[in-house]
Amino acid sequence: FSVQAALRFALERQQLKLVFQPQMNLATGQLSGMECLIRWQHPDMGWISPAEFIPIAEETGMIIPIGHWVLLEACRTAQQWRAAGLLVPKMAVNLSVRQFKPGVLVEQVASVLQETGFPAYLLELEVTESLIMRRINEAVDIMNALKAMGVTLAIDDFGTGYSSLSQLKYLPLDILKIDRSFVEGLPCDHDDMAIAQTIIAMAKKLSLSVVAEGVETAEQMQALHAAGCDTIQGYFYAKPLPAEAMAQMMQRV
């Protein structure tokens, strides 16, 4: 019984679930967005982290049906919230490199938006640096097509890959997410502080909005705010939540 078969089984038997992590706008203190994260609830092994199974899903190609399910389930859930009269903020969905295929991804996003009725302007897609740098030419075309549909684009785990902001200026990005490894040491670690301040200042000059990940303390939040960061995500504000708990954080229209 291979892991690939187990993943296919998991998808068919509804063992895959989505959780939603709220994001807070630092200027207003209000909910301003959320990131959708996958979980595997295995009947014997309990919760399995995506850090463990996403790489296997990528190797085996299972990321294609799983990625489609994530997008569809996320948009369907968020559209149900809207239909129930909730003020739904922007929702970010993670994409992996294997999903970034010409002739596949753009069509898939368009069909999911059409099928669910979820508006493109509320959908944000997160891509990692390594993804973009590995397939820069294809990536630019796909990203331009997604932008043209009205989707927001974010670069995830920024600072952990090989790209520089000078390369990023050629990409149609809207948001840069600072990796939590640089947030961890704030505000005491001078190197982390310098890196975070530099990333934020340069992102601003490129007109990108900045989301800091993994914010766990008030001190980290204050340091990021002072450095000009727009938005935070992390345990300090909220953990990734089941759909019902996420809905409770939203106001009524």
Q: Which parts of this chain interact with ligand G (CB under 6 A)?
A: 21, 37-38, 49-51, 54, 70, 94-96, 156-157, 180, 213-216, 234-235, 240
Please provide residue 161's backbone torsions phi and psi, each rounded to the nearest 5 degrees: -105, -150
What whole-number distance in Å separates Cα of residue 71 and Cα of residue 105? 11
Report the site for Na ion in 153-172 (rule: CB under 5 A). Answer: 156-157
Please provide residue 119's backbone torsions phi and psi, each rounded to the nearest 5 degrees: -75, 140
Closer by beta carbon to Mn ion, 160 or else 198: 160
Q: Could you say whether residue 124 binds Na ion (CB under 5 A)?
A: no
- The region of 116-124, 144-152, 156-164, 222-230 touching Mn ion under the rule CB under 5 A is 156-164
Q: Which residues contact 47 (CB under 8 A, 6 or more apart)?
A: 39, 40, 41
Closer by beta carbon to Na ion, 10 or else 36: 36
**Cβ atoms 207, 230 nearer than 8 A:** no
Q: Which of 94, 99, 231, 233 binds Mn ion (CB under 5 A)?
A: 94
The pair of three-digit structure tokens given for residue 231, joined into one six-digit string = 């938005």
**Cβ atoms 60, 73 nearer than 8 A:** no
With CA atoms as reference, report the closest residue to 152 among 121, 127, 113: 121
- Min separation Cβ 54 and Mn ion, Å: 11
Closer by beta carbon to ligand G, 1 or else 132: 132
- Min separation Cβ 253 and ligand G, Å: 27
- Min separation Cβ 203 and Na ion, Å: 15
Question: Which does residue 174 touch among Na ion, Mn ion, ligand G, none (CB within 5 to 8 A, set by kind)?
Answer: none
- Min separation Cβ 94 and ligand G, Å: 4
Q: Could you say whether residue 124 binds Mn ion (CB under 5 A)?
A: no
- The region of 69-77, 90-98, 188-196, 234-242 touching Mn ion under the rule CB under 5 A is 90-98
C-alpha distance from residue 212 to each of 82, 248, 251 (Å): 27, 23, 23
Closer by beta carbon to ligand G, 33 or else 234: 234
Question: Which does residue 234 touch among ligand G, Mn ion, Na ion, none (CB within 5 to 8 A, set by kind)?
Answer: ligand G
**Cβ atoms 172, 149 nearer than 8 A:** no
What whole-number distance in Å separates Cα of residue 247 and Cα of residue 83? 12
Q: Measured at CB, which residue is nearest to ligand G?
A: 234
C-alpha distance from residue 144 to each of 51, 117, 140, 149, 250 (Å): 29, 22, 6, 9, 31
Q: Measured at CB, which residue is nearest to Na ion?
A: 157
3-state secondary structure of 68: helix
User: CA geometry: angle at 23 spanning 181 and 170, to 5°?
Assistant: 65
Closer by beta carbon to ligand G, 218 or else 253: 218
Residues that bind Na ion (CB under 5 A): 156-157, 213
